[in-house]
Structure formats: structure tokens, C-alpha cells
Amino acid sequence: MMILSKPNSGAHIGANRSVRQIMWQVILALSPATVFGLWCFGWPALNLFIITVTSALFFEAFCIRLQGRAAKPVLMDGSALLTGWLLAMTLPPWAPWWIGVVGSGLAIILGKQVYGGLGQNLFNPAMLARVALLISFPIEMTTWANVSPLFFSHSPGLAESWHITFSGLDNLDAYTGATTLGYIKTEFSQNRVLADIMQDYSPILSFIGWSRGSLGEASTLLLALGGIWLIRAKIITWHIPVALLATVTVLASIFHLADSQHYISPFVHLNSGAMMCVAFFIATDYVTSPNTATGQLVFGAGCGLLIFVIRTWGAYPEGAGFAVLLMNSATPLIDHYIRPRIYGRDRKGKPLEIPKP
Amino acid sequence: MYVLYAIVSLTLLGLVLGLALGIAGKYLKVESSPLVDELEAMLPGSQCGQCGFLGCRPAAEALAEGNAPATICPPGGSTLAEQIAALLGLDLDLSAVKEPELLVARVSEATCTGCTRCFKVCPTDAIVGAPKQIHAVVADACIGCKKCVEVCPTECLQMHPIEITLRNWRWAKPTINPAGNALC
Amino acid sequence: MLSFFTKARIRGGVHAEEHKAITATQAIVTGFPLPKTLYIPLQQHVGKPAEPLIRVGEQVLKGQLLAYSQGLISAPVHAPSSGVILDVNDYPAPHPSALPIRMIVLETDGKDQWLELPAVADPFQLAPEDISLRVGAAGIVGLGGATFPTAVKLNMGRENHIDTLIINGAECEPYLSCDDRLMQERSDQIIDGVRLMLHGMETGQAIVAIEDNKPQAFNAMLASAQAYPKITVIQIPTRYPMGWDRQLIGYVTGREVPVGSRSSEVGVTIHNVGTAYATHKAIRYGQPLVSRVLTVSGGAVGRPMNVEVPLGTLISEVFDFCGVDARQTARIIMGGPMMGDALPHTGLPTVKATSGLLALTASELKDTDEQPCIRCASCVSVCPAGLRPLDMANNIRVNQLDAAVDIGLKDCISCGCCSYICPSNIPLVQYFKYASGEVAARQQAQHKSEQTKRLMEARNTRLERIAEKQREEEQARIAAKLERERLKAEQEASV
């Protein structure tokens, strides 16, 4: 006779997927775009990336230690790594080191741990940090380096990169410029029309990521591929990305058709800024997005609408961060009103009527 | 000048409203607090004294005055504690309160003399029997007040924990692992 | 395109690794050695326990009635073999707690001698009521695991004039393949049982639904059912919990059973294939339910198989027969790995509900290292009942049971999909089982406190009445005394 332990309830078997695996798969999906972006912007970008991710891990460990718990198992779940990674992807690649450290601190401490840690936060930590940085340090957060790939002659070398990251850039104008969206916004304010503004714009280069911006804004192609892989791997569902992208496309098409000189085309919208990164990686964050498929459609559409509104009429050229944060705050409301119908009950929770024969 | 007007008008407003409140408080005063009655109605009413008060009425008064915790009544259990907390608007953390082990009296048949003292004191008539015959406790009606134990001359009445059978066995609440990945 | 907007035919569900092939490809083993002692619980069904009518020391034959059903919903218990009654007492039940339950202990004599059984030549001449009576007398209960007395269901079907009988051959639980084998090997008998059920319920059509991962069972059943136009055999998608009656009814007929109603109220009754087989044996040969086919499987089992065992056989004997390695066994499960119960030890008997006995190794089990919920909502999307397990568990964790009830705790069917899929290894189903038990306990406590109050009031009024009476008597006594004194005084005065 065998004697075994205390009562355990079913299910006794489980799907082969843990929190750690999910986090690592998201990171894997991000890595092609990350690697390409790091190559495009060279050593300074790599410095900032490493600083941001390391400090995110440090702040997470610090908070866990404050709670008197062992930090290692919590760090191993990969969530802090992912937060740091996503934050690094939204920063200007040549930003000074302290931007990364402050951003990680904001993301991990203010964005996540004060709410109670993993799964408890209301806002996406990476977006919270990015928006806080953007408002606090507008100069550093809008200084966009030119594409200067590793091992190219005009690109900064390793030693120079240390100087850029830790002491700042000496000759700003030679190495930096505006992002596509920023440029358009500035030119609109000079009363120029799109046909003039977009003369130098190359959709192909922007598509593969050969343009100014953060790592998460650079390569539309690689980010979209990573996102589609995540959907195929069933880490995320199609609802949020499709609803978000479709909303932006539809709105942009309508306005562009109505006035093609003052409203940028849907292709430029989809192809620029953090559109793909937000649609596939940020807005789909489990913790801060709704639970039901319908709720996710509403959430995605809301994000799309806000991005379009902020980009078109707002003060900032890119509105993805704000849009996601605003919709994050609406998530509890969406979850409250949009819930699945319980079997055998109507939407209000009353038992169904027995159909009369 | 504006400042003066503002100060005067606000002061007047405050005085008038304060006066109105004061008058209302004096003339519309409720004599006996209905809260105590409401609380007393919720309590079991068996005057068993397990709470440390002399009966349910004093316990209800203590609750109304905030001198007793919502978990005061052992026979009422967590259900009653929740109801009281809801009525008084208290925050109740039941996880911090250890559910008291419910006991019921049982008659030891070897030593019972049939003296009937116990069923005279039983507040819920949970003890059955007749003079010179062995008594028995109806476990479903026993509230564990121990009054019978005190009067039993032969100590044949003892408190026992309620026996766990397949009928009242329940799944335990999952314990969160000690590694501390708890959601707090 | 319109169909996109109509109700989905399958809600939620998961597809777990099946582990069925190893037992589904071998014939049912029938040569199980007769155990020396059988432990037969008096309650192997939903409802009231049966009442024993034999005495300790009595000789019984195989199939003899040991305990009769009492009450409307109950089932009798029969002797699984011939021998002597050793005891009628409390023994550990096949339940996660292994708490004692009343059992009849039978010492077998090795002869396995049947009682003389009343065979019926043409059961279709019997009245429909007679079919249910005989099924009830044979102690047949739902063998899919629900163990609801079959006769009661047949009666309800007849009274509600149901139009469709669904035969559940889904067997959606991983590891289990006893229904699959039964359909492959004994399809004629099952179809005969289905015809008898149709006759007993006076129902026009039967649909046998088999998951599409059992093509051989499907073909066998199709061939056997060919001659009977009333019976259709269909394939259904393989997806747990397809065998949940409501899910199956929804998929096969498109009807939804309202909360608080029985499926017969929407014109459907559902029976398991094993039940149909038992019905065949009970009506054709008069054999009561004394044995069943069950799957023995899992990583720690040396010879996994489907085996027919007498009811009341101890699990330890079944495990010995199948070569279970005790050192490798991390958990013993009765039933399937999704909804089955983990048992604390093997000294427990097999019962009518035992569709499988699993000895799983640690590597087969779900990780128990619980992590924080990341709100991935996988549990919401797999829940076949349309609940939000994550919100319910959060409420229960902080003891807000009422809030959990408000968002659907009572509609949970404990299918285990949420626990299965959860990447944070949160024991969701256990939270719900705990909360359901706690809610029931609180209702009982509430009931008890009301009862206490009533008893108190009754006692107080009684004590008052007695006091009043005593007072009246006292007053009467005083009055009488005064009267006497007055009379005395009068007498004295007159003298």
C-alpha cells in the first residue's frame, strides 16, 4: 500500500507553458528588431541598452530584497528583463546613461513594484517610464541619432561611444535629426503641405528600419514579423494588434482621402513611429489589457483611435505611449462591462428561458 | 472690499448651517440606538457568554460602541462576523482571524447518572433524556456554550471537536508557497 | 459569414496530450484474478446510500442483492462474487480524504457462482416502465463518472417526452480509453443497450457522439448501428471537455440548458456508452452491475491496460496486477487527470464511478510552484462555462466569497481547464472547490444560528409559561389560604 500526500485537486496535468517561457518567447520575438536596431545605431545604442536592462534587473532585485524575499527566483521569471528591454527599445538610442537608469527605476519601482509586483500594475511599466521621461527630459528624449551602423567609417567607435553615453554628444547637429513624424509635425507648423514635406521620405528604408528613431520605432518589418510569430506561437491573440492597426488605417485613410495635403497617408502611419512595437508588444501586455476577446478588440481600437488623434492634432508627434496609458486606465472598466456570457445564463446573469416547443 | 464680502458671507453661511445642524441634532435625536437592536437581532440570542459578555445584549452594545471586534461571537462564526462587519462598516480580515475550533458536547454513557441538571441549563434544548436515564446531545443543535459541562456532577459531559465525515469534509484553501511569491 | 456571428458550437476547452494509445490498442483484459476480499461501499451513486439487507456471516451468490435502494434517487448494491459476508462497517472511502464510509466486506469463495438470473427473451415486449424498473434493480448508474442513477434518468426522459437521446462516447479525459475499447470490442451490445434505452424512454432517435480521435471505435459503432435507422453515429471534434453533457448537447443539438434546469427539460437525455452496455446486460441477461472496465495507466504503470474488475476490488490489487512501481508513483488518481480525484493511498476499493486508475510520475504532474497571476486570461478563454477564473480566484484569496459567487462561482463545473492552462500554476480549481465548500458551510452555519434562535425562543416561551403557571398556582394558593383564614375568622367570630 502506497501512502501519498495531502489532497490535491485537478487538473493534475498541465500545459507546458510557464510565465518564464512566455516572457522569454516575447524577448525572442523582440530580438531580431533589437539586434538590427543596435547594429544601425552602433556602440552608444548598445551601451544604453545594457545599462537600461541591467538597472531594471537591479531595481527589481532591490525591491524584492526590501520585501524580505529571495530575489533570484523572481528575477528568473524574466518579467523585469522584459520591462527593461521594452523600455530600452523606446528610448533614443544615443541618450545619456542616466536616462536609462532613471527610466528603469521609474518603470520597475513606480510602474510595477508599488502596485504589488508582477500582475498587479495598472499601467504598462515601460510606457509609464517612457512618458514620464519624455515629460521630464524633453531635450534628451527627442534627440534622435542618425543611422550610423557598426563598423562604418563615419560611425562612432567604441571609445567614442563611451564619451557619447557618459558625457553627452559634443556636436549635436552633425549626428542627430528628427524622426519622420517629428519632422512632419514641425513642417506642418511652418504651413507646408505634405507633398513638399515628404519629398525625401523613403518608405522602403523606413520599412526595414533604416531611419531615425528608437529601436522600437525603427524596423517595421522585423517588429511585425516578431509580432506575427508571437500570434502563431499563441502567446498573444490577434485581437489587439488587428483592432489597433485597423483603426489607425481606417481613420488615416478617411482623412487622407479627404485632404491628402494635411493628413498623412495610412502607410506612413503604419510605417513610422512605434506603431508595430505598440500594436504587437506593448498594447498586448497581459497585465494591463482586457481579459476577453471582445474587450481586447475595444482596447485595441481605443489605442488606435488615440494614437491617430494625438499624432494628428496633438502637441506630440508620436502618441503611442500616451494612448496605451490612457487605454490601460480604461482596462478595469472594459473588463467590468465586457465579460463572457456564462453558460446557461443570459448576458445579465439570469438563467435562460426554456424554449417552448 | 471683495475680500471682506467673501469673509463675511462665508462666516454667516457657516454660522447659519452650524446652527441648523445643532438644532437638528437636538430635536431629531433618536432616543435608543437602533444599531444595538439590529446587532442583537443578528446575534444568536442564546446568551451563552462565550464572548465574555453577560449575554447577547451587552455584546451588541459593546459592538455598537466599537469596544468589541466583529469576530466576537464564536457560535456565529465567520458568517456572522462578516455580517457585523458589513453593518458597522468595519474592515474585516478573516484570514488573520483563526477560525475557532467548534466543539460540541458529548455524553459519556458510562458515567451519566440521568440527573437532568444538564438539560435544564441547555439554552437550545440540545440535550434529550429523562430522569434516571442516560442523556444524549443533539450535535446539530449544540452551540458549544459549555453550560452543561459546568453543571454536570460526574464530569460525563465533555466537549469534543465536531467529527469530520464525508458529509462535512471540505477542500482546504490552497496555501501560498513559503517562497513568498504571494500576491499581497 | 452570418454563421460567424451565431453562437460558437464549442466554448472554451483545451487539447491536452492524450496518452491514450498505449491502452487503446490492446484488448480489454478479462482474466483479472478474483480478489480474496471485496469492499463494497453502500453509496456508489448520487443520492441516498443503499440500506444493507444481509447479515454478517451470510452466504451470498454473485449478483445477489446486498443492499436495497432507499428514497427516490438511490441505487442498490449487489454481490460482485459469491462468498461470505465478513463485516458491514466503516472503511476508508475512495475519496481524496479517505474518510470512512459504510461498506460491506465480502470474502470470496473462489467459485464466482452466479445467482439464477431472469433472462428476457424479447425485451422489446416489455413495458417501458418495466425497462426502467429492471435497470434500477440492476443498480446501474451513470458510468461516465457522474453516477446518477440511470433508472431515474430514464423515467425523467419518458415523463418529459424527450426527442433525442445522446450517447456520450467522447471520453475526452486524457489517458482513459475504457469507453474506446468497449466501443471497439462490444459495439453490438452497446447498440442493443441504446435500443433498450430508447424503448424505455419512448424516444424517437439516438445520436452516438464519438470524438474523432477514436476512428476504430467510430467505425465499429457505425457498423453495428447500420441496421437501426433510429440510431446515428457521429464524430465530434477532439477537445476537452467535449464529454461535459452540456457541451455535448450544445454541439450535437445546438440547444443550451438553462442554469438550474435538467437537460431533459430541453428535450435531451444523455447517457454514457458504458451505461448503455450495462443496460444491455441487465435487460437481456438480468445481470446486475457487479464489474466494470477501467483504464489503468500512467508513467508508473508497468503494464498499462484496460481491465474488467469486480466492483469492490482494492486499488492496491489492481495496481499489483498491472505492475505499478510504487517508488515512481507521485500521485494516484481515480478517474481522469483533469477531473479525477487524487487518492491518499491504494487501500481503497474501486467503485461504479471508477473509470480509470492512474499512477502518475512526478514528471507527468503539473508543476506546483505557484507564481503570481499575470492576468494572461488564458483561463478566461478556455473556460467552457464562460467564467473568469482569475477574478474568482483573486476574490477567494482575500476571502471575498460573496463577490466570487456573484461572478459565477456556482456555475463552475470543476473541469480543470483553467488549472491546466495556467502558466503561473495557480491551483484555480482547488480555490473554487474550497470556496464552494466554504459557502455551503456558511449557509449551514447561518441555518444553524437561525435554528438556535428558534430553539432559544421556544425555550424562553416555555420557561415563561411555566413561570406564569407557577405564579398563578402561587396566587391561587395564597388566595385559598386567605379564604381559609377568612372562613376560620368567620367561624371564630360566630362561635
Q: Which of A168-172, A273-277, A281-285 has the lowest mean pLDDT?
A: A168-172
Question: Does A273 lie in the same domain as A170?
Answer: no
Question: What mean pLDDT, rounded, does chain B reach?
Answer: 79
C388 and A340 in contact by Cβ < 8 A? yes
B179 and A70 in contact by Cβ < 8 A? yes
Q: Provide CB contacts within 8 A for B154, sequence distance 6+.
A: B111, B112, B113, B115
pLDDT for res B98: 55
pLDDT for res A193: 83
Q: Which of A197-211, A301-315, C66-80 has the lowest mean pLDDT?
A: A197-211
Residue B47 in this model has a pLDDT that exceeds 80: no
DSSP C314: B
The answer to whether residue B110 is domain-embedded is yes
Nearest to C117 by CA among C64, C76, C77, C68: C64
Tally the C-alpha atoms within 13 A of residue A232's C-alpha that lie toward its C-beta. 7
Q: How far apart are CA C466 and CA B9, in angstroms?
A: 70
Residue B176 in this model has a pLDDT that exceeds 70: no
CA nearest to C437 within chain B: B170
> Do strands C205-211 and C100-108 pair parallel, antiparallel, or not at all (unpaired)?
unpaired
A to B CB pairs, distance under 8 Å? 19
Question: Does B107 lie in the same domain as B78?
Answer: no
The answer to whether residue A10 is domain-embedded is no
pLDDT tens, residue by residue, C196-221 = 999 999 998 999 999 999 999 999 99
Asked if B178 reaches chain A (Cβ–Cβ under 8 Å), the answer is no
Note whether A219 and A209 are within 8 A (CB).
yes
Give the CATH number for residue B43. 1.10.15
Residue C373 annotated as lining a ligand binding site: yes
Buried b (16+ CB within 10 A) or exposed e, B93-130: ebeeeeeeebbbbbbeeeebeebebbbeebbbebbebe
Nearest to C97 among A7, A286, A342 (CB): A7
pLDDT tens, residue by residue, C27-43 = 999 989 999 999 999 99
Residue-number span of the structural domain to which A35 is assigned? 19-177
The answer to whether residue A347 is domain-embedded is no
Kindly tell me the sign of the dihedral angle through the C-alpha atoms of C25, C27, C33, C35. Answer: positive
Quote the percentage of chain C above a pLDDT of 70.
98
User: H or E segment at A160?
Assistant: helix A158-167
Question: Does A137 lie in the same domain as A27?
Answer: yes
Question: Does B113 lie in the same domain as B65?
Answer: no
Question: Does A55 lie in the same domain as A167?
Answer: yes
Catalogue the E-assigned strands of chain B: 103-107, 127-128, 136-137, 157-161
Phi first, then psi: give them for residue A176, nearest 5 degrees: -125, 170
Confidence of residue B181 (pLDDT cuts 50, 70, 90): very low
Nearest to C167 by CA among C278, C258, C75: C278
C308 torsion bin: left (phi>0), alpha (psi -120 to 50), beta (else): beta
Q: How far apart are CA C201 and CA C204, in angstroms?
A: 9
Residue-number span of the structural domain to which B133 is assigned? 103-161
Residue C379 annotated as lining a ligand binding site: yes
Residue B22 in this model has a pLDDT that exceeds 50: yes
Rounded mean pLDDT of B102-129? 82
Residue C7 in this model has a pLDDT that exceeds 80: no
Question: Does A251 lie in the same domain as A125?
Answer: no
Question: Does A271 lie in the same domain as A124?
Answer: no
DSSP C48: B
B171 and A9 in contact by Cβ < 8 A? yes
pLDDT for res C4: 44
Following DSSP, what letter does each residue of A262-285 receive, concatenated?
Answer: TS--HHHHHHSTTHHHIIIIITT-
pLDDT tens, residue by residue, C322-380 = 999 999 999 999 999 999 999 999 999 999 999 999 999 999 998 878 888 999 999 99
Question: Does A100 lie in the same domain as A236?
Answer: no
B179 and A117 in contact by Cβ < 8 A? no
Rounded mean pLDDT of C245-264? 90
Q: Which of A209-223, B79-93, B160-174, C438-452 has the lowest mean pLDDT?
A: B79-93
pLDDT for res B183: 37
Question: Does A149 lie in the same domain as A51?
Answer: yes
Give the CATH number for residue B114. 3.30.70.20
pLDDT tens, residue by residue, A25-62 = 999 999 999 999 999 888 999 999 999 999 999 999 99
B to C CB pairs, distance under 8 Å? 95
Residue whose cell numbers read 500594475: A121
Query: What's the domain count of chain B?
Result: 2
Asked if A70 reaches chain C (Cβ–Cβ under 8 Å), the answer is no
Whole-prediction pTM: 0.86
CA nearest to C458 within chain B: B124
More reliable by pLDDT, C150 or B178: C150
Q: At what angle do helices C428-494 and C389-397 cross, to 10 degrees?
A: 50
Asked if A21 reaches chain B (Cβ–Cβ under 8 Å), the answer is no
Question: Does B83 lie in the same domain as B43?
Answer: yes
Asked if C365 reaches chain A (Cβ–Cβ under 8 Å), the answer is yes
Q: How far apart are CA C313 and CA A301, in angstroms?
A: 61
Q: Give the residue numbers of the binding site of B.
A: 48, 51, 56, 73, 112, 115, 118, 122, 142, 145, 148, 152
Asked if C371 reaches chain B (Cβ–Cβ under 8 Å), the answer is yes
Question: Does A318 lie in the same domain as A199?
Answer: yes
C-alpha grid cell, residue A89:
527599445
Buried b (16+ CB within 10 A) or exposed e, B56-83: bbbbbbbbbeeebbbbbbbbbbbbbbbb
Neighbours of chain B (3+ CB pairs under 8 A): A, C
B183 and A117 in contact by Cβ < 8 A? yes
Nearest to C442 among B46, B75, B78 (CB): B78
B125 and C459 in contact by Cβ < 8 A? yes
Question: Does A319 lie in the same domain as A220?
Answer: yes
pLDDT tens, residue by residue, A88-135 = 999 999 899 999 999 999 999 999 999 988 989 999 999 999 999 999
pLDDT for res C60: 94
A to C CB pairs, distance under 8 Å? 185
CA nearest to A79 within chain C: C374
pLDDT for res B179: 43
Confidence of residue B97 (pLDDT cuts 50, 70, 90): low
Q: How far apart are CA C66 and CA C105, in angstroms?
A: 11
Q: Using an 8 Å CB-CB cutoff, list chain C residues near B165.
A: 99-100
pLDDT tens, residue by residue, C175-194 = 999 999 999 999 999 999 99
Confidence of residue C307 (pLDDT cuts 50, 70, 90): very high
Question: What mean pLDDT, rounded, does chain C reach?
Answer: 91
Q: Using an 8 Å CB-CB cutoff, list chain C residues near A2.
A: 316, 326, 329, 332, 345-346
Determine how many CB atoms are found less than 10 A away from the CB of residue B30: 7
Sequence ranges of the domains in chain C: 370-495
Q: Using an 8 Å CB-CB cutoff, list chain C residues near A4.
A: 329-332, 342-345
Q: Give the residue numbers of the binding site of B for [4Fe-4S] cluster.
A: 48, 51, 56, 73, 112, 115, 118, 122, 142, 145, 148, 152
Query: What's the domain count of chain A?
Result: 2
A70 and B184 in contact by Cβ < 8 A? no
